[in-house]
A and B are shown apart, each in its own frame.
Chain A
Amino acid sequence: MLALACAALLHSQALGLLIQMVAAVILCLSFWLLMGQGGMVSFGHAVYSGAGAFAAIHLMRAIDQGLWWPMLAVPLAGASAAALLAWPLGWLATRHHSTMVFAMITLGLGELVGAGALMFPSVFGGDAGISADRGAGLDWEPNWARLPLLYALALAYLALAVLILRGYLGTPTGRLLQAVRENPQRVSFLGQDPRRTRHISFMVAAFLAGLAGSLGALFNEIVSPEVFSGQRSAAVLIFSLMGGLALMSGAVVGGVLMVLGSVVLPSWTPAWLLYLGLAFIVILWGLPGGLMPGLPRALQAWRRAPEKAAAWFVFALGLGALVEMTYQWRLASIMGAQLNYLGLRLDTAEPWHWLAGPALMAGAVLILYLRGSHRGHA
């Protein structure tokens, strides 16, 4: 990670990825508070990151027009706007103790806000979105158009987000949240209102989501109503589950995966969505608690049985070859018949090239089967 960061300092594209990762990690931390600590499964968390992003982009435009507000404090305003929006919306969502009701209300609110945003193009910019210039800060500010500086700012906000989270969970209300997750009725017998605890926690989570959305707006310098989409909300849920909700580190893994999966992977292969779906299923199937703390344990298990891990790796390679060739074949009219698979030239017009993938998969299955039957006899 450190080496990657050092190398990235010289490369603007990688630096951009790192900034997006920091924002994604903050978003996953926000979701970790909501779902991991509070047991509230939200299907509409993009509403709050999106609200933060729009508040930020409008503020950036106003600053460009002469409003006195430091560009570096834009995320604070965006986060506050998101928390403010979460006051009425969170009140609605947290009235009932039922997880299902909460999930459905957040889903409904997400659709509502997404559809509503498209109806007001003057505020939300329509399909084209709204753009602004992050370099137009106050005189004494550094030029935030320079990516290393923006990266440093994003890291500072990540530190702030962690401090807020840790601080909040230590307060009486934060500690009550864990009790509410386990048994809301019992909490009311302690003389505390479980709905109030959930509502306040919801607003804190929205604040952090707004922080993440604002950082995204600062980086992209453009925001469109797409930030409210159900896909964004689903992505938060999916990558948070992949990272794991038991530990705070799961949110970090989830955030990094979110950028790798939805920014880096699509630039490598047209089949990215298929791989993401497969990875989600495989991870949750093999490690139901997510990669943290599941991955370290899985790595230990693989070290004890390296041939098994190798066989699964070969199986994945074979599957990848088959998937890539199928996509290439479907898109041959645009992209040609030949593709480069991990340095290997494959041609969809050559029948025997099609055998490479299935052969690898069959070999892997054979090894796994022999290994299994060997153990069965022993």
Chain B
Amino acid sequence: MSLLQIEELHVQIGTQPILRGVELQVPAGQRLALIGPNGAGKSTLFHAITGLAMAQRGRISLDGQSLLGLSTHQIVRRGVGRSFQISQLFASLTVADHLRLACLSALGYHGGRGSGLLHRLTRLGDVRERVQSQLQALELDDVADTPAGQLPYARQRMLELGLALAVDPRLLLLDEPTAGMSRSETTDFVRRIDALARGRTLVLVEHDMPVVFDLADQVAVLHEGRVLICASAQEVQTHEEVRRLYLSRREATC
């Protein structure tokens, strides 16, 4: 069975229907890229999966369990991690504090209940170990005590990715991870995502076609609130309607 299963999903924002019957199956271990023109509903789909947008109709389930009606933190605890197109970091908190707070959930500390409330965050042994290994994996150990607001852009993106990974998700949703990066930074970053996301199911929204073809083994094209085609990267590249709608225009601007 698929890890993520979306059926007949309708979402409207205000009075505007954005998603009109999205059907999508993502088997465990697959890496899927969502592409489509601006306003096709890619971010809205992420919002719907993570509980930020309400579905009017349809079903979203993770490993057979419905995610509809759950709040964001409950969905995250069931194994969904998400990064944002525009980094959403806590400007005054240090890099290490970000990772400490982010890994609490994966270690079973849930705000008060259970153990951990009466301990100092920095003294929790399992938290410390985990943060140390994550700092190394993200190559952020030299800036562990720097406030996130003072990091250079590419490293903020890395921390953003780290926050999504720290909750130890089964399903990792990345919203334009390389947005705003230079070509060389992007190449480097894609290699890092490839290594860090190993063993996880990945859904990726991306405009940068080389990134899509490097990372994804399956591509879904979203157009006017529906999935136009979901196929392997090669097939999508040669699909006539997709070329007409999307790829050709992209290539023309590149």
Contacts and interface: CB of A to CB of B under 8 A. Distances in A.
Contacts of B101: 172, 175-176, 179, 187, 190, 192
Contact of B121 (A172, A190, A193): A172
A188 interface: yes
Interface in B102-142: 102, 104-106, 109-112, 116-122, 124
Interface string A3-47: 000000000000000000000000000000000000000000000
Interface in A184-201: 185-194, 196-197, 200
A171 B90 CA distance: 17
Nearest to B104: A172
Interface residues of B, number: 38
B100 interface: yes
Interface in A155-183: 167, 170-176, 178-179, 182-183
B120 A182 contact: no
B106 A172 contact: no
Nearest to A179: B90
A210 to B, nearest CB: 19
B206 interface: no
A174 B101 CA distance: 11
A192 B117 contact: no
B91 A182 contact: yes
Contacts, number: 100
Interface in B178-204: none
Contacts of B106: 191
Contact of B71 (A175, A186, A188): A188
Contacts of A183: 88, 90
B163 interface: yes
A170 B163 contact: no
B172 to A, nearest CB: 12
B167 A191 contact: yes
A191 B121 contact: no
B92 interface: yes
A176 B103 CA distance: 12
B77 to A, nearest CB: 5
* A interface residue count range (under 10 / 10 to 19 / 20 to 34 / 35 or more): 20 to 34
Nearest to A174: B121
Given A170-B120, A200-B111, A190 B104 contact: yes
Nearest to A196: B111
A348 B82 CA distance: 73
Contacts of B166: 190
Contacts of B105: 190-192
A182 B81 CA distance: 20
Nearest to A176: B101
Contact of A171 (B71, B91, B92, B116): B116
Contacts of B72: 185, 188-189
Given A172-B116, A173-B112, A197-B111, A192 B121 contact: no
A321 to B, nearest CB: 46
A175 B121 CA distance: 8
A337 to B, nearest CB: 57
A81 B119 CA distance: 24
B76 A188 contact: yes
B120 A191 contact: no
Contact of A173 (B50, B102, B111): B111
A191 B76 contact: yes
Contact of A189 (B76, B100, B110): B76
Contacts of A194: 73
A185 B75 CA distance: 13
Which of A178, A187, A189 lies at the interface centre, i.e. has the most chain B CB atoms within 10 A of its CB?
A: A189
A188 B89 CA distance: 13
Nearest to B167: A191
B112 A178 contact: no
Given A189-B163, A192-B110, A171 B93 contact: no
A376 B3 CA distance: 71
Which of B50, B92, B97, B102 lies at the interface centre, i.e. has the most chain A CB atoms within 10 A of its CB?
A: B102
A192 B103 CA distance: 10
A183 B106 CA distance: 20
11 contacts: A171-B117, A171-B121, A173-B117, A175-B97, A179-B90, A183-B90, A185-B72, A189-B164, A190-B101, A191-B105, A197-B111
4 nearest A-B pairs in the assembled complex, by CB-CB distance: A191-B105, A188-B72, A191-B76, A188-B73
Given A172-B109, A175-B100, A187-B101, 6 more contacts: A171-B117, A172-B116, A183-B88, A189-B167, A190-B163, A192-B73
Interface of B: 50, 52, 71-73, 76-77, 81-82, 88-93, 97, 100-102, 104-106, 109-112, 116-122, 124, 163-164, 166-167
